[in-house]
Each structure stands twice: as structure tokens, then as C-alpha cells.
Structure 1
Amino acid sequence: MSVALFTLGGTISMAGNHRLTGDDLTAAVPGLAEVGHAVEIQDVEKVPSANLTASTMLDVVDAASKAVADGASGVVVTQGTDNLEETAFLVDQVWPHPQPFVLTGAMRNPTLAGPDGPANLLAAVRVAGAPAARDLGALVVFKEEIHAARWVCKTHSTSTATFVSPNAGPIGHVVEDRVRILTRPLRLDGVHGRAEPAELDATRVALYTVTMDDDGLLLQGLADTHQGLVVAGFGVGHVPSALAPVLGELAAVMPVVLTSRTGGGSVLRNTYKSVGSESDLLQRGLVDGGFLDPYKARILLRLLLATDDDLEAAFAQYR
């Protein structure tokens, strides 16, 4: 039995001016040899996570699928944490296998006191090789907590406890040498079509965060440059009344998804009735993003547009 490890750089591999390889990373993990799974290493590229692209992650998914076809019991990816919540959700949409696909990283690099990378990597390998973690899609493992990709968020710029799932909590824990899954969320349908790199690169989806006194001036000309828009509204999905007709006009020519900028909870549908309320915006043609945060909604909308998949059915799963 083996676990396929793909390394993508990030804080976990930063050692001054030197970037650690997968061999370096695994050599620094006490107890890894006793896990019972050989770790097959593939160093992909060493870049800050801010430079990772959707196309790169889809290439990793393809390589991971080949590893699974060759007998790997699960997959681990190490990367920077800046956009790990987004890459995990992207993977979750396209990963077709029952084998776990686990993403992890570190908040403290190996030159600092108390680096968290070794412990995170050890826990991630345990989860990737655990039968109990099968059929859960993409997972994020940090501080011995196991998070479902569709709920996990990075919530602190420096804390090692940065990854949490505000709407659900972790779905499991690694306790001593045991992977303990406490709840098994229903695995949702992913994106059915294959997002080809050229199509994905040509698909532009904007993310617009609503602010006080917002009149939508920054949205002028958006329909000429983008194919979709995600709106991060106030609270349960509200915008200033002056912005409502602007968004309605855009919704007439492109998909516009309504989400909340709060970081937790769902947008509503029928509670408030004023101009700029959630019910008003949905009547103007905006798509209900449900419990999806703005970042994940943007990932999903971009994939759907690139594959011409069923947009309404895909977002309905998150309501």
C-alpha cells in the first residue's frame, strides 16, 4: 500500500533561500516510516500558493488519478496556505475517485521554532491511507483536524489553527495513530465535464465585495471582459439599493451569483423585501449561492462556465 505525495512549495518547504524537496519533507517527519504506507514522492513545482493556477491544480489531479490507477491508496498534496481553501474546493469538484485526496501545508516554516509542517504531513499521510476516509472527496488536514473541502476556510493570517469550517466544524480527527471520522457528509455531484486548460484560461469570473455607499461604478464594463460574476453581499445577501439595478442588468447578460461576505452562514431567499435585499436580487436574476463562500462560488462558477455544465443544478446543492 502506498500514498502518492505531490509537493507544490509553500511555507512547509521554505528553509531560508533553500526549498525543500519531498524527500527533505518526509525525512523530517518522525514516525512516518511506521505509518504502514510507502510514500511515493513527486515534486511538481516550488511556487508560492499565490502563484498557483487552476490549470496547475488540474494537472496535479490528472497525475494523482494516474497514481491511484497504479495502486495508490490515497493522495497528499503539500502547498502554501494562502489559497489552499480554493485549491481544495477545485479538486473536490473534479476528483472522481473514492481514494482520499488530502491537502496540507504549514504556517511556520522549518527554520522557526515549532514548525507545524511535519505533524501536518504525518496526519495527512495517515488520512490519505485510511479506509475510513474513502468517499469523502478532497480533504484538508491541519492540526490533526480533518475538514471537508466545501466547508473549510482560512481564518487567520498567522495562527497554526487558521483552518476551520464555520458552518460544520471538522468532520474528523487524527488521534494518536487513528483516523477517526465523526461524520460523513453526503458527497455532492462535482462538475461533470472536463475543464480543458484553454477553456479555463479563457473563462474570467470576477469577485465583487459590496461595501458601504457602494454604487457599482467599478462594475462598469465588466460584461465586456468577464463571463461571470460573484457578489459578496452584506449579511444574508444584501446590497445598497443603488447597486441592485446594476447587478440586475449584469444578471441579464451573464451569471451573477449572490453570496455573503461574512464568512459563515447562508444567504437567504425570502425574508427581506426592500430594494437590494436578497429576495429583490434573486427576482432580478441573481443565482442563490447558498452556503458557499464567495471564493468557492467563484471556483465553481468558473468551472461550470468552462465546461458548459448545469449551473442551476450545481449551485442548488449548496442551498
Structure 2
Amino acid sequence: MTQPIVNVYVLGGTITMAPGAKGITPQLTGDDLAAGLPALKDIAQLKVHTPFLKPGASLTMDEIAQVARDMAADVSAAGCVVVQGTDTIDETSFLLQLLYSGDGPVVMTGAMRGAAAPGADGPANLMAAVAVAASPQMQGCGVLVVLNDEIHHACAVEKMHKGLASAFQSPNGGPLGYYVEGGLRILRDMPAHKMPRFAPTRFGKIALIKTSLDDQPDLLAALPGLGYEGVVVEAMGAGHTSEKWAPALEAVADKMPVVLASRVMSGPVFRNTYGFPGSEIDLLGRGLVPAGWLSPHKARLLLSVAVGCGLDGQALSAAFEAFN
């Protein structure tokens, strides 16, 4: 039986890092990682690519878009694995979900411990990721994140701890399944078929502004002059700000799209419960767009893509409805 082909794109991150003069830095290529895990050959035929090596925090949206195009161009592959730094996997995976036009699964993975650290988790994560990408039952599932033997969907996963191997969780439903005893155990249906895909000609310049106790909204008025084309406000609770933020947000919403998200990771932004100034009813009535289940940083990516597609008004609101 012919083994499935899996493209592996290694972009850097802790999984590629080895000790240097001032701490660990990206050094290992994709070929190095594959050579250190010969059992991968028992799962799939690998095509390994190392376009660059950098920390996850330094990745750009344009670089991720190029990876999406490269993956879609190879129709011979059953699936793809993207190896990168865990700092931004919860963002880059969602961006790929919005951009990737192929049918095979894309599996993001990385490591929480460097390659030379005791208990390094990179090899096990890479093994599980390749197995998920090669599995016929994962066709059409979109973009997944696999670490610590857990399978998460890109739309739901968040990095919830700075250092533990179990750092990645899906607060609104848990993992989709597990990699156990060399096989997959899927707990529920994959949601990818319901997710919109986009082909932006560019990425919009979007701000992410966080609210906090007794904070001032002064930064909002400066955004248009700085060239921003939209803003996501990271509100409190169910989607609330101080009453003094409400008129400032309305003024900005007259000039650019403003998306209402929440710093609380579990649950959607409310729409019809609270009625005080700065509540979700008040803010949505002032023209803000609810982020639904999306975290603020994921909402920023969707808004950037939507603006890059030329969407505004009802079309832009409809893009967020898929996540409500």
C-alpha cells in the first residue's frame, strides 16, 4: 500500500531551537527534525520544506499567506504539517483556516521545550501531527492544532499557559480528539465545512485595543490618522466597556469597522441582555460588530482579511456571522 504524501513546512520556533551563547535560538531545519525521528517514514512520505527559521512572534501575515499558497499548489499531498513557534499558533492556524483553499488537512504543531531540554516534547508532537495529516478521516477538516496528543480546531484553540506541554486548550468545547496508541480517537464532528474562506489581495491594518478598569479611550481618536482601517476592542465580560468609551467607539465606527470582542475566553459576545451605556446592546446599537465566539486576536485577523477583500457594511458583518 502506497503511503500518503505529507508536506512538512518548518518555520522555526522552540521545536527548532538549540542552546546558543545567550539562550536557545532557532537552528534545526526540517531535515534535521525528520532525521531525528525516523519512525515518521512508517506513517507517510514526507516532503520537507524550511523556507525560513524564526520565532513565532516574528512571523508575518504575508509569510503565512505564502505558506497557504504553497500548500494548496501541491495537490499530490494528503495533508500538510506546519511547524512553528507556539507563541502565535493560535493566530496563524486561524489565519490559515481563512486562507487555505485545499481539501487536505493542515496540522499546526510546535514544542513547549527546546530540542535539547529534558523531556523535549517536539518529537512526539511532530509524530502526532504527521499522523493526523496523513489520516483519511481528517480530509476536509480544515486547519487543526496538535500538541500534547490533543487535536484542536484552529477556530477554537488558544494558548492558555506560558510553559506547560498542555498549554493549548479549546475553552469553548475542548479538543476534537486525541492521538492515542498510534491512532486517532475523534470525539465529535469537524466544523470546517461551515467556515468561510477568503482570497484577500492584501491585509488591512487593524488595531487591537484593550479596555481595563477606569481606562481612557483617548487612543481611539488617533487610529484614523495613523492609517488604521479597523479596530477590534477587547471589552470586558459579555462585551462591555465603561460608559465613557461608548461615544468614542461610536465616533470611530463612523469612520471604520469596529468589532466588539471580550477578554473572557469562554462564551460568545452577548447581543440582547444588558442595556446600560457601554453594554453590548448599547455598543451594537452604535454600529459595532460582534465577534461572536472569536477571541480578540482571532477577530483582528478576520477583520484584516475582510478589509483586504474589500468587504464593508453588511458583507463585513456577514463574515463575522459565521462565528456567532
TM norm. shorter chain > 0.5:
yes
Partners of 1:27 and 1:144 in 2: how far apart?
A: 21
Q: Which residue of 2 aligns with 1:217?
A: 218
Residue 320 of structure 2: which of 311, 315, 318 is its match?
Answer: 315
* 8 A contact 2:8–2:49 mirrored in 1: yes
1:113-166 Cα shifts (integer Å, max 9, x gaps): 000000000000000000111111100000111000000000111111000000
Match of 2:28 among 20, 25, 38: 20
Q: Conserved in 2, the CA contact under 8 Å of 1:132 and 1:179? A: no
User: How many residues are matched?
Assistant: 311
C-alpha deviation, 1:29, in angstroms: 2.1
Structure 2 residue corresponding to 1:117, chosen from 102, 109, 122: 122
- Give the conservation status (yes or no) of the 8 Å contact 2:100–2:197: no
Return the alpha-carbon distance in structure 2 between the equivalents of residues 158 and 144 of structure 1: 16
Superposed, which structure 2 residues align to 1:222-237 within 5 Å?
Answer: 222-224=223-225, 225-237=227-239
Unaligned runs of 5+ in 2: 21-25
Residues 189 and 314, structure 1, Cα contact 8 Å, conserved in 2: no
Query: 1:76 touches 1:125 (CA, 8 Å); kept in 2?
Result: yes
Match of 2:50 among 40, 43, 48: 43
Residue 57 of structure 1 aligns with an amino acid whose one-letter code is: I
SS of residue matched to 2:140:
coil
2:62 matches 1:52: no
- The 5-angstrom pairing of residues 230-309 of structure 1 reads 230-309=232-311
**In 2, Cα distance between equivalents of 1:244 and 1:113:** 51
Question: Normalising by structure 1, what TM-score?
Answer: 0.95
Write the distance in 1 (CA, Å) between the matches of 2:65 and 2:87.
Answer: 18
Alpha-carbon distance in 1 for matches of 2:197, 2:72: 16
SS of 1:31's equivalent?
A: helix
Aligned twin of 2:23: none
Tell me the CA shift for residue 227 of structure 1. Answer: 0.4
Question: Aligned residue for 1:149?
Answer: 154
Q: Summarize deviations over 1:177-236 as a string: whole Å, max 9, x none.
A: 1122221133233233x223xx32xx2100011101122012221122210000110000
Runs (4+) off by over 3 Å: none
Contact 1:167 1:264 in 2 (8 A): yes
Root mean square deviation of aligned Cα: 1.2
Q: 1:132 touches 1:180 (CA, 8 Å); kept in 2?
A: no
Find 1:94's aligned residue among 95, 99, 103.
99
Q: Which runs of 5+ in 1 are unaligned?
A: none
> Contact 1:132–1:181 (CA<8 Å) still a contact in 2?
no
User: What's the CA shift for 1:65?
Assistant: 1.1
- Out of 72, 75, 79, the position equivalent to 2:77 is 72
What TM-score do you get using the length of structure 2 for normalisation?
0.93
Aligned-pair identity in percent equals: 41
Shift of 1:56: 0.2
Contact 2:6 2:77 in 1 (8 A): yes
- Cα separation, 2, equivalents of 1:186 and 1:64: 21
